[in-house]
Structure 1
């Protein structure tokens, strides 16, 4: 019974929900985690909008961003971090002076 539920969930995620994106920089497991976390945070923000409006608006924005990240597979923040971490090409060593050895 449990295996059937897991298989059904896998099939639903592999369908239109997690479509391939040529610009994707987020793996499938990260996308699934982002979808679940984003839905939870978004729902939490919506339910508390009248008791804590500013905190709830922040939760709604974060949850929506996580949902967008999970649905599209692209994260602009991750892309910016990966671009800034790229190692520069090594500079060639050029000897400017020669020292005689006796």
Structure 2
């Protein structure tokens, strides 16, 4: 179970993503050398959060093995339930990033 919060909806989504990656590794060991953008859609806020986290997990597990040090929400459309975000990080390496 992950716990995250923020003063705004954007911060809460950012902290949810970082909590997920913080569960996988010490994000303090990640260097912000690359950027990756993630977009997601849902039919309500809960499904938007699920798809947002799922897209970030895909970047980590299947696509680029990308692990962010920081995630920033660029825009949330609260009526169409769409989100755009960017992450700064690097390719995950078992030699560098503890599990």
TM over 0.5: same fold?
A: no
Of Structure 1 and Structure 2, the greater strand share is in 2
Higher helix share: 1
Q: Which has the larger radius of gyration?
A: 1
TM-score by length of 1: 0.24
